[in-house]
Chains A and B, each alone.
Chain A
Amino acid sequence: MAEVSCRKVVKEYDAGVQAVKGIDLDISDHEFVVLVGPSGCGKSTTLRMIAGLEEVTSGEIWIDGDVVNDVPPRDRDIAMVFQNYALYPHMSVFDNMAFGLKLRKFPKQEISRRVDEAARILDITPLLDRKPRALSGGQRQRVAMGRAIVRNPKVFLFDEPLSNLDAKLRVQMRTEIKKVHQTVRTTTVYVTHDQIEAMTLADRVVVMNGGNIEQVGAPQELYHHPATRFVAGFIGSPAMNFLPCRVQDGTNGGLAVRVTDSITLPIPPARMDRYGKFKDRSMILGLRPEHLFEYHEQAKPGWTRVELPVDVVEPMGMETMVHFFVDGVPVCARVDPATHAEPNEILPLTADLNQMHLMEPETGRVV
């Protein structure tokens, strides 16, 4: 178990295009860090550089206090779980899990003790004699994890380990991975493009975009305090609504955001200082669907009533998603399932602006 650090790590593939543009990241001992981001943002590349499968163009990678840039993967004492498992098809489950230990010349009893133990943790003891071919996707996934666990390495690396599984199994394996981590407590770097996976598993989430780290933080922190428009839009489902707006003087000496000619919402007094300097500038208002809901008569002060025609209604059971257009910009609101909402009818809505985010359109920075 160990810390992992990246210092100004750059990866340039031969075409001169940078897949990873100088990232800095410190992962402490026992920590479960998830790299998340859209396809092609350099997550796998980063992970593979930590594993040593990809050379670092510049910068340093540290594992357990040593620079490992020139250390081959087999000497880095790491274990990796691949998206398509990469089990050796000609070896039994036992041999797949024991392979790394055999290569490292562990004594026979120690090997079978560790494999049995890992098989018990992962509940695959009855499968030990089978070949990978005779396993289901979920079972292969467990074997791949078993192969990582038995080695008791300094760091676990996962590259989208669940993306080949069906939705239900994915949720189940997610829990399993979390459980395993709580048992063995090995420092873990986990790559996914599924933000729910990221939020549920991580101690800290690293949001990447276009080869850069956008933000690092605990799941709740990213959710409530996104640093950029990208993070705000990436974390949370359905995604945050973004509306072009203008900050202007409101009633009673306060501030307000003007979204359209007919919609002007008062900014809560607590945020006046923060937003004051952006007065009369074009900004972007970010509001999560759950902070946009049906208007009640007993509304709190500052909850302005806005009437909008419904476009699409999506009942999801415990909540209902309602889609609108505000000046041609699609907006989603989360309303109570008991609310009567029909397409093309007018629905009175309100927004909880205590949860609003305001962003600069040019930089995407959340202010």
Chain B
Amino acid sequence: MADGTSVPIDVIAPGQVRARRNTMQRFAQRRSTTGFFLCLPLILLIAAFVIYPAFYAIYLSMLNKKMTAFVGLGNFQFLLKRHTFQLVIFQSCLFAVTSVVLKAVIGFILAHLMHNIPGKNQRIWRGLLLVPWVIPLALSTLTWWWMFDPSYSAFNWVLNQFGIDNVPWLGVGWTARFCTIAVNVWYGTPFFMIMYLAALKSVPEQLYEAAAIDGANTIQKLFFVTLPMMRNIIAITVLFSLIVTFADFDIVRILTAGGPQDMTHVFATYAFQIGIQSGDIPLGAADSLFMFPILAFAAFFVLRGVTRRTKEIAA
């Protein structure tokens, strides 16, 4: 009513203006719009630091060594034919899969042991077992490297005490592979342990009591209660660790630098060698891009299972 009297008669626009403002307002008030604007800073950051480099890497991988000509998938074809690269694929998979499996199994066992330590002591042990994970990896790997040293260091000294000959830890193919995996397991297990411990603590005690009354023994409780209840955490940690382990650089680079005879190279160290050290950046980019489909494939299946189970369990 007040509106009607205060608007001059000769102006026709107000109604239209108001209408437009209303649609604008409604647009601005929609939850999805607000959500989008709130996410915008993050979207911009991701665009700048993830999407752009990713596409730039794809673009790079299609250039020749001098980065003057476009060669399409030439770099990929070249890599696949090369024996060293075939080794790299095999070793990356061996390194990642073996490490992750070992980390998961050892982490699971440690989490169980930890879960059964009563009260205060648990915190001390938990703290101690987390140490490998909080020391900067490059630093601890250097220590390992020193301990693996063939003639002057800890492991061989101990072996000598038992009358066993020196072992050239990092000097022979399979032993070197074993060493890189061992260090990775040492470093990564605490992460699994802490995740599994959290998951263990979140399984309601009453499920175990119900299972005990239903007639389950300890092993059956593990298989029918604990593991199903932890499947999501297991899937997510394994996936996450698989990604990180596939992309691992520090350990191999410091322990063996890919040697002996390229027998410990993984994608990242090989990319570094051909891309930075030998100066063929497009080839290095192509090498590292090989990780992408493998990881995407794994992520797709793992996360699909996770979503399905989350719906089931969240009650």
Query: Which residues of A approach B to under 8 Å, CB–CB?
Result: 51-53, 72-74, 78-80, 82, 84, 86-91, 99-100, 103-104, 131-133, 147, 151
Q: Which residues of A contact B11 (CB under 8 A)?
A: none
Q: Which residues of A contact B220 (CB under 8 A)?
A: 103
B225 beta carbon closer than 8 Å to chain A: yes
B212 near A73: Cβ-Cβ < 8 Å: yes
Q: Which residues of A contact B207 (CB under 8 A)?
A: 86, 88
Q: List 6 A-B contacts (CB under 8 A).
A: A52-B212, A80-B213, A86-B204, A88-B225, A90-B313, A147-B210
A78 CA to B214 CA, complexed, in Å: 8
Q: Which residues of A contact B313 (CB under 8 A)?
A: 89-90, 133
Chain B residues numbered 183-224 whose CB sits less than 8 Å from any CB in chain A: 204, 206-207, 209-217, 220, 224
Binary interface encoding of chain B residues 9-49 relative to chain A, with 1 for a CB under 8 A from any of its CBs, else 0: 00000000000000000000000000000000000000000
A126 CA to B216 CA, complexed, in Å: 27
Q: Which residues of B contact A80 (CB under 8 A)?
A: 209-210, 213
Query: Which residues of B approach A to under 8 Å, CB–CB?
Result: 204, 206-207, 209-217, 220, 224-225, 228-229, 231, 309, 311-315
The interface residues of chain B, by DSSP majority, are classed as helix
Q: Which residues of A contact B210 (CB under 8 A)?
A: 80, 82, 86-88, 147
Partner pick for B212 among A72, A88, A90, A132, CB 8 A cutoff = A72
- Chain B residue at smallest Cβ distance from A87: B210
A317 CA to B66 CA, complexed, in Å: 95
Chain A to chain B: the 10 pairs with minimum beta-carbon distance, closest first: A100-B214, A86-B206, A86-B210, A74-B215, A90-B228, A103-B215, A133-B315, A73-B212, A89-B313, A73-B213
Q: Which residues of B contact A133 (CB under 8 A)?
A: 311-315
Q: Nearest Cβ in chain A — how far from B303, in angstroms?
A: 18
6 extra interchain contacts, Cβ-Cβ under 8 A, other than A73-B213, A99-B224, A147-B210? A74-B215, A88-B225, A88-B228, A90-B231, A90-B312, A99-B214
A103 near B214: Cβ-Cβ < 8 Å: yes
Q: Nearest Cβ in chain A — how far from B229, in angstroms?
A: 7
Partner pick for B209 among A53, A87, A100, A103, CB 8 A cutoff = A53
Q: Which residues of A contact B213 (CB under 8 A)?
A: 51, 53, 73-74, 78-80, 100
B214 near A89: Cβ-Cβ < 8 Å: no
Partner pick for A89 among B209, B211, B212, B315, CB 8 A cutoff = B315
Q: Nearest Cβ in chain A — how far from B182, in angstroms?
A: 35
Partner pick for A53 among B212, B216, B312, CB 8 A cutoff = B212
Q: Which residues of A contact B216 (CB under 8 A)?
A: 74, 103
- Chain B residue at smallest Cβ distance from A153: B213
Q: Which residues of A contact B224 (CB under 8 A)?
A: 88, 99
Q: Which residues of A contact B229 (CB under 8 A)?
A: 89-90
- Chain B residue at smallest Cβ distance from A78: B213
Partner pick for B315 among A73, A79, A132, CB 8 A cutoff = A132
Known: A86-B204, A133-B314. Contact between A74 and B209, CB under 8 A? no
Q: Which residues of A contact B215 (CB under 8 A)?
A: 74, 100, 103-104
B315 near A90: Cβ-Cβ < 8 Å: no
Q: Nearest Cβ in chain A — how far from B3, in angstroms?
A: 50
- Chain A residue at smallest Cβ distance from B225: A88
Q: Which residues of A contact B204 (CB under 8 A)?
A: 84, 86
Q: Nearest Cβ in chain A — how far from B220, in angstroms?
A: 6
Q: Which residues of B contact A103 (CB under 8 A)?
A: 214-216, 220
Q: Which residues of B contact A100 (CB under 8 A)?
A: 213-215
Most A-side CB within 10 Å, residue of B210, B212, B312, B315:
B210
- Chain B residue at smallest Cβ distance from A131: B312
Q: Nearest Cβ in chain A — how far from B307, in angstroms?
A: 14
Q: Which residues of B contact A87 (CB under 8 A)?
A: 210
A51 CA to B214 CA, complexed, in Å: 11
A78 CA to B309 CA, complexed, in Å: 31
Q: Which residues of A contact B206 (CB under 8 A)?
A: 82, 84, 86
- Chain A residue at smallest Cβ distance from B311: A133
Most A-side CB within 10 Å, residue of B213, B311, B313, B315:
B213
B309 near A74: Cβ-Cβ < 8 Å: no
A87 CA to B214 CA, complexed, in Å: 11
A90 CA to B215 CA, complexed, in Å: 18
Q: Which residues of A contact B228 (CB under 8 A)?
A: 88, 90-91
